[in-house]
A and B are shown apart, each in its own frame.
Chain A
Amino acid sequence: MTERLNGPQDPPATIAGGSVPGPADTPRKQRRLGPSPTVAIVFLLPAAVLLGIWVVYPIVYSIFRSLFDATGSGFVGLGNYLTIFTDGSMLTTIRNNLIWVVVAPIVVTTLGLIFAVLTERIKWATAFKLIVFMPMAVSLMAAGVIFRLVYDEDPDKGVANAILTTVHDTFSSSQGYPEARPREGDQSQVAAQSGAVVTKQPVQAGQPVLVPIVGIKPEIMPGSAAPAKAAPPGNDLSGTVWFDFTAGGGGKNGAIDGSEKGLPGMTVEAVKDGQVAGTATTAEDGTFRFDGLPAGAYVVRLPQSNFQAAYHGLTWLGPTLITPAIIGAFVWVWAGFAMVLIAAGLAAIPRDALEAARIDGATEWQVFRRITVPLLSPVLLVVFVTMIINTLKVFDLVFIIAPPSVQPQSNVIALEMWRVSFGGGNNQGLGSALAIFLLILVLPFMIMNIRRFRRDES
C-alpha cells in the first residue's frame, strides 16, 4: 500500500524543490572529479542487481509467459492479446478503465485545486487540510469497506441513501399504501392501470363498487382501520375499498369477509370522459360516497398517489451506477493528496506577481485564471499524471465495493488480470498478457512524469 505513495512518480519533495530555484552549485556537466568507472560500477551494482531481479526479470518473464496458454506449455503467439480485444467481458473492463482515466484524474485535480486555493484564505487552514488529507491514512482496502457501507441500498445502513431519502421525504413524503395492488381476476371489478386502480367497466350510481386491494404490509396498515363494510345502498355512487385478505387465510377472494379491514384515507375519483368529475375519500371502514354527482356512468379510479412507493434512494451498487460510485470513493481518498501537493505549489508562487495584478485592478477570478493556474500548471500536471497512473492500476476499491453480482460490470484491467490469473480459471498466460497491456498503457505517463522531473531538476 505504501508503494502507492513511494512509487517512482512520487513527487512531493521534487515539486517543492522544483519550483524553487535549485542550489546554484549543481552544474549540469562535471569534469571527471569523481571516482573511476570501476568504482562507479561497484557502487551501482547492488541497485542494478535488485532492479534486475525485481523489475526487469518479471517484466521479461511476463512477456514470455503471455505468449503461452493456461497450462504454460502450449505456444499461442499473440492469441492471448487477441482475446483481450475480442472477448466481451474484457472489452467491458477496457471501457471501464477509459471512464476511470477520463473522469477520475480531472475530478481529483480540480477538487484538489479548489481545496488548495480555498485553504489559502481560511483561518483554520491546517485543520481543514488535515481533515481532507486524512483519508490518505486509510488503506484503500479499508476505504473500500467503508464505501461499501456508504452505498448500501438500505437507507438504514447506507449513508448515501439515508441522505437522499431524507432530502426527498422533506419535499414529498410517501403516503397511503405503497406497493399495494388490486386483486385481479375475472371476478374482480377492478384492474391495475399504469399505477392507478380503475374499474374495468363504467359503473352507475346505486350499485356499490367493490375495490379489493392486496399486498399491504402489516406495518403500513393504519391503526384506525375498521372492519370493512359494504357501502349502504343509496342514490349516490358509492363503494368500498378494503384489504381483501383474511389473516390466517380462509376468506373468499373479492368478497368482504367478516374480519377484513377497510382502507381509510384512500383517495377515490369518479372519472367521466377522461375528466375527474368528483373526488371522495374512504372512511375508516373503507366505504366512500360521491355526493351530488350527476347521474350517469363513471369509471371509478384510485389514483396512483395512493400507491406511491416509498422512495428508497438510488441503487448505487447496481450495474449502472457502480463505476461512478467507486470513482466517488477514489476521489474521497485522493483529493487530499492532490490538495497537499497543489497547496505546496501554491505556496511557492511569487507573491509579488499576485500583488501586482491586484494593484493593476484584476479581479480575484482573473488573478486565479491568469496568474495562479498558469504558474501552478507544472504541479497540476504532475498531480494529473500521477492520478492517471493510479486510476489505470486501480484494483482494491473495485474488488471491495462492487458486490459479486455487478463485478463484471465494474471490472477494470488490473482486477481482471488477477482474476484470470488466480481466480477460477488460473490462466496465467492471459493474465500476463493483461499485465503487459496495462504496462503499455501506463508507460507513456511514466515517461512523461520522469521527463518532467528531469526538466525540473535541471
Chain B
Amino acid sequence: MDLVATVLLVEDDPSVREGLGLALRRQGHEVRAAGTGEEGVERLRESRPDIVVLDIMLPGIDGFETCRRMRAHAEVPIIMLTARGDDFDVVAGLEAGADDYVVKPVEPRVLEARIRAVLRRTVAEPSSVERHGSLVIDRAGLQVLKNDAKVALTPTELKLLLELSRTPGRVLTRQQILEAVWEHDYLGDSRLVDACVQRLRAKIEDVPSDPGHIHTVRGFGYRFGPR
C-alpha cells in the first residue's frame, strides 16, 4: 500500500496551516485544508481523505465536537493536535474518537511518523475467517461481522481487534499493543489503548460493561477470548 495519502488538515491559524501543509506536501501527501471545524466536516464529506489532522483549539465548534461529527460520518483515522498537551485534552480527544495525538509545537517528523503508522494499520492478510461466538473476523477481507451484520470499525479499531484476536487467550500488555498497533516507541501513551478498547467494546460486545471478548487483565493489559 502506498503511504502517500490525502490529508485533511483542520487548523485555524493560517501560518500553522501553511507550514504544516508545506511539510506534508513535501512528504508527497495531498493536502486539503480547512480553517474551522464546520468547514472540516464539510470537506470530509466532499473529499473523502485518508486521514484527518485536527487541531483542538478551533473557533466555533472545537476539535472534540468536530471529531465526534466526523466519526458520525466516516471511519477515517483522526490525529489530534493538542495545543496544551494537557491530560484533560488527551483524554477528551481520545473519548471523542481520535486515533492518536501529537502535541504542539509539532515536530514534522513526528507527525509524519504517526500518519504513516495510522495508514499502515489496515493491511489484508491471507488468512481464513475466524468465528468467535457471535463475532466473525475476516482477516483477508478486513471485515468484522457481529450477528452476521457488518461492524463499522476505524482502521485503528480494526487493527487492534486483529492484533488481540491473533493470539486468543494470551495477555498482551498495553506496551505490546501500543508498539504493534500504534507503532509507538516505549514512550507511547497507554491511554490510547484504553480509549480504543472502550470504543471497540462498544461496537463488538453485547454488553460493553461486561465484555465477552476483550477482557481487562488488571495491571497488565488485555486478553482476547472467551471468559
- Is B truly associated with A? no
Residues of B within 8 A of A (CB): none
